[in-house]
Structure formats: C-alpha cells, structure tokens
A and B are shown apart, each in its own frame.
Chain A
C-alpha cells in the first residue's frame, strides 16, 4: 500500500463529512443568497439580498458591535489567561482548587454562564442588591447598566468568564511542557523578569495562545445564544440579526439571512487571517 493511498484513506472519512456538510452548507447558503436555487425554480441569480443587507443601517451597527464583542473579549481573555497560567505554574495554597475550577468551567455551557451573568450584573441583580444593602445606590437605576447595554459589557463579561479557563488550560499545558530552564538562563544572563517573560517565554507559548485565541475570536463572533440573552434589542449582534431574518415569516428575508451568513463566514475568515498575521509580526519584532 503506497503512502499516498494510505494517507488518502485515513483522511477520507473526516474530509468527506466536513466537505459535504460544511462546504455543502456554505455553497447552498451562497446560492440561496443570490436567489439561485434551480430545484425550486429560481434560475436567475441576482444581488438583491446583498443590496438590501448593505443598505440597512442596522447591519453596519451590528457588525461594529459584533466585532467589538469578539475583539475585546479575545484580548481581555488572552491577557488574563496568560496571567492565570503564570500564577498556576507556581505552588500556592489553593492552587489545586483553582486548577480544578478552571477545568470545571470548561464544562459549563455558555448558555448557563450567560444566565448567571444576567442574574449577577443586571440593574436589580446580585451586585446591585449588594450595592443597595451598603447604601451605595438608592434604586436599580443608579446601578450602572451592564447587561442589555450598548457596549455589550455583559456579553464580554460572560465570554471572559468562559474563555479565560479555555485559553489558560492550553497556555498552561504549553508552559509546563516548556519548563522554566530557558527563563532561568535568561535571568542568569541579567534579563529582568519582564524581559525574560517578553522575550523568552512569550514567544514559546505564543503559537498555542494564538490558536486558542483564534478559536475564541471565531466563537465570540458567531455565537447566537449569548447575545440573544444578554444583548440590547438594537443593534443586535450579527448572528442574532441573521437568525431573525431567517425566521422572519416574510420569505423574502431568507435570502437576506443567507447573505448575512455568507458575510459572517467571509468576515470571520478575513479577520482571523489578519489577526494571525499581525500578531505573529508583533511577537517576532
């Protein structure tokens, strides 16, 4: 059996499922976004769905909001995750507990986290009640708006809560397999703590951190249920907007939903491409 044949055979099942389902789904979405579907008698492709998406003000606001959510959540999660991993590789009282909770958090679905954040941070939630108890606010409206808010703070809090452990577990695994020898060498050669981290450890853990944060960015850009629970009604995050259009009883809105789906796919691919390029450059420089 030749290697080529063997490789083909090994890859065939996974590739065929991904190609048929994932790329098939994308292709059908693409066709329908152009109003092209010969099976149901649509044989004249047109751009009307894209025209109506690109002339809708909410679409642009929605894109900006979604980008802000994904970008801010990813950056904050990344920084906190590296800090947490640095903490966790040292011995201290309670380390086992933090370690366990980190992993435990991985198993808690986003939806549960979103509901928890809602109960904690709404203007009448647990923190507002604490503030009222301590006389810091006179009523719910004095408490800052952290959910259903225009800056999507609640959504970002939920992502940070959930993604710090995700990135943290991966980065910690990287750190532990690298060990501390390189840093010790750098320190003995006179590097400061920060220098040892910035020029020795960070480049080493960078690939793992980058791939984890790409996954986080992609997820936070495309998730539906979290902005659906914690988001303001206007503008809605892109996935919520796409879903609303798809389930609009007006059939004409469906190609628009498909067009948005295609735009989401393209945008996330493009943004991740630039994110990866940009951050690789930054670390190498």
Chain B
C-alpha cells in the first residue's frame, strides 16, 4: 500500500474521534419546563448516542433507518446507534464515568433498559429524572397503570420513558412435538419424560433468569405472596423448594444439566437444530422474525402457559451526564409517537407491543393498529394477556439469580 493512501487512512481514522459537540445540553435541570419549541431548537444540528442491544438486524434497521430518518429530516439530529451485546455494558460506561468524575461530558445519551440495570442506574444516581412531562407525547403514556409506573417493582419516578411491552412465551416445533407442556408443572413432567430435550440459559442471562422465576412462582403456589419488598424468610422458604425442583430436573436436561447454554441465542440455536425441543423468549414476536430470517424452522409455533407468563415493560433512559439531553428528549418523544409505535408493532418490522395507550392516539393510528395482522406463528397477544403475571422487585430477582448460581448452576 502506498504512503499517501496510508496517510489518508490514518487521517480519516483520527478524524472520526469525537470532537467538540455543537450544542451542549448537559444541564438537564434547565431543560425541564422549557417549551418544546425551545428544546427542539437547542437539539437541532446536534447528535444523540443511543446504546442498545445490537444483535437483531430488524431492530437495528427500525432504529437506524426509520427513527434515524425522522430525527434527521424533521429535527436535523444525527442518531448514532451503538450496538451492544449486553445492556450492562452501557450501564457500566456511565458508572465508570461517574466514578472518574465525568459529570457532564458522558458518552452515553440514551440506553434501552429495564429491570436490574434500571435499578442500578436509579439507585446509583446515574439517571436524569423528572422531565417526562416536558415531552408532548408523554400524554399517550398511561402512568396510572402500575405495570408502566413500576419497572420490575421499582417505581419509575420520571427517570425513564416506556418504549415497548413484552410478555414471556414459549415456542415449539409442530413437526417434532405434538402437544407441548402448557404449565410449569406439565413442563417439568414433560422434560423428565423427554430427557435431553429441554434446557434453559444459565442466569444471569435475562431469559434464563425469567424462566427460573416462573419455576419460583410455581414453587410458591402463585405470585401473590411474593409481591412487595424483599422478604428473606419468604425467599428462603420458596427458594429451597425451587432449587429442589430444578436440581431434581437437572439430570433430564440437555447434556444431563452438566452445562447450560450461556445465552438465549445459544439456546435458540439448540432449538433450531433439534438438540432441544422447546424454546422461549421474553419477546414473543421474535418467533415471527426468526422464522422469516431462517433462524427457526417455519413449523415453529409460539404459545403461552395456562398458569400465566411474566410480562414486563421496557424503557429508554437518559444518563445524568449525557451532554446531548435535548436531542435525547426529542428522540424519546419520537419513539413515543403513535406513528413510531405503530411502525414497531408491524410484524415484518419488529412486531413488538406498543407501550403507549393506543386509545389515546389519533383515529387514523388506532385504525391502523386495529388492522395489524400478527404473524400466525407468534403466540397470540390475546392468549398471553389472559394470564399475565407481574415481575418481582429487582431485589428478589438478584437474590434468585445468586441463589441459582450457588445451588443449581455449579
């Protein structure tokens, strides 16, 4: 390679380094209560760095092309989608920055988040809070719904804005399995009757963890006893039963339970290649996309459980030290709009459930929502909604994950 070319590469790589940002809007307090026109004016010409899980080309396309396009055309804001393999990486960047005293020049402007990561952000004072009323589209959000106002039992308190709703669902291959188990009790019996054909990702994997919680609810005889603050005595009682069930199940699992898949994606590969016969996901729409993308056999069918599956809401959060808060607010407002939520709900785009109250959108949007034909192989939303279970508070969840690692995982 000749010298000039080499220098050109060098220069171009160095010029990609972050330079001074045009309009610094790190001071979040001063934005609260400002008119929306002022905020969009401050955001204009700037950029926003959104950190989110990057392993789905469908979501990447929706974010970069659809949302990025609206930001560019309507607000002259450049959206940088930063793909992660795990959301905790973004939380860690903010955490590390705070520890090192980076208070207003952070590198993260927004994170797709919920659950334990949200708890860390909120309790660590890492979130920008109290601004939600400033967003015009906040009126579409039903904050009176406890499933929106609480993120895994932690009150949202204006520190994040909902993006989508999801509910755990199972899936099986109709070509391989005639009747899949329809409750946790049946599932345990089914797994024992079909040795090697079931497994779950090792917590703290997000989906493996929620599966273990289903067993935990089953051992507790229902979720009602577990809601509210963490209760050590109650936890110990239920946990003992849960570990007994799971350890008893272990020899019937894939590879006799000597190892567990490290991620949900690894388990989906096992399912796709007939190593195991069941799979599950917190995002039921994934079944449709996976079939279309050739990840799952087309004979895959999603379904819910008769004793219910856990549902959650996921959110977007703005870190306290984001230097582009105005642009991040504009981005959140776009995400909440009826149009963007509708686009996201289309089965060939993503197929995930809207987090806004559809009845509060315009008639036109409502009609289009009503006309959506979900992918036939995705567990029907109505079926899932009939038996939706709440999430536990994050302190319960981390206790269950720790307990699983100590008592079952090793």
Residues of A at the B interface (CB closer than 8 Å) are 40, 57-58, 122-124, 139-141, 145, 148-150, 231-235, 247-249, 251
In the complex, B379 has a CB within 8 A of chain A: no
The 8 Å CB contact of A150, one of B117, B196, B258, B266, is B258
- What is the total of A-B residue contacts with beta carbons within 8 Å? 58
User: Which residues of chain B (113-148) have a CB below 8 Å from chain A?
Assistant: 116-117, 120
In the complex, what residue of chain A is closest to B270 when comparing beta carbons?
A124
Interchain CB contact under 8 A, B409 and A234: yes
Q: Which of A40, A123, A247, A249 contacts B275 (CB 8 A)?
A: A123
CB-defined contacts of B120 to chain A, threshold 8 Å: 249
Interface membership of B99, Cβ < 8 A = yes
In the complex, which of the residues A122, A140, A149, A249 has the most CB atoms of chain B within 10 Å of its own CB atom?
Answer: A249
Question: What are 5 pairs between A and B in contact, CB < 8 Å?
Answer: A124-B270, A141-B255, A148-B266, A234-B259, A251-B99
Question: Interface stretch among B18-26, B88-96, B154-162?
Answer: B88-96
List chain B residues, Cβ under 8 A from A122: 269, 273
Q: Are B89 and A247 in contact (CB under 8 A)?
A: yes
Q: Is the CB of B273 within 8 A of A140?
A: yes
In contact, A249 and B274 (Cβ under 8 angstroms): no
Whether B202 is near chain A, meaning CB under 8 Å from some CB there, is: yes
Interface residues of B in 136-191 (CB under 8 A from A): none
Contact of B259 among A124, A148, A249 (CB under 8 A): A148
Assign chain B's interface to a size class.
20 to 34
A156 to B25, CA, bound (A): 51
Shortest B72–chain A CB gap in Å is 32
* A166 to B116 alpha-carbon distance, docked (Å): 44
> By the criterion CB–CB under 8 Å, are B92 and A249 in contact?
yes
Closest to B120 in A: A249
- Asked if B293 lies at the interface with its beta carbon under 8 angstroms from chain A, I say no
Instruction: List residues of chain B with CB within 8 A of the CB of A57.
Output: 410
Complexed CA–CA distance, A234 and B258 (Å): 9
**Set of chain A residues within 8 Å of B86, measured between Cβ atoms:** 247
Closest partner residue, chain B, to A129 (CB atom): B273
- Residue pair B99, A150 in contact (C-beta under 8 Å): no
Chain B's closest residue to A124 (CB) is B273
Q: In angstroms, how far is the closest chain A Cβ from the Cβ of B207? A: 14
The answer to whether B410 and A249 touch across the interface, beta carbons within 8 angstroms, is no
Contact of B117 among A123, A140, A149, A249 (CB under 8 A): A249
Residue of A nearest to B87 (CB): A249
| Docked CA distance A149–B259 (Å) | 8
Complex CA gap A124/B254 in Å reads: 13
Interface: B297 (CB within 8 A): no
Say yes or no: B91 contacts A233, CB within 8 Å: no
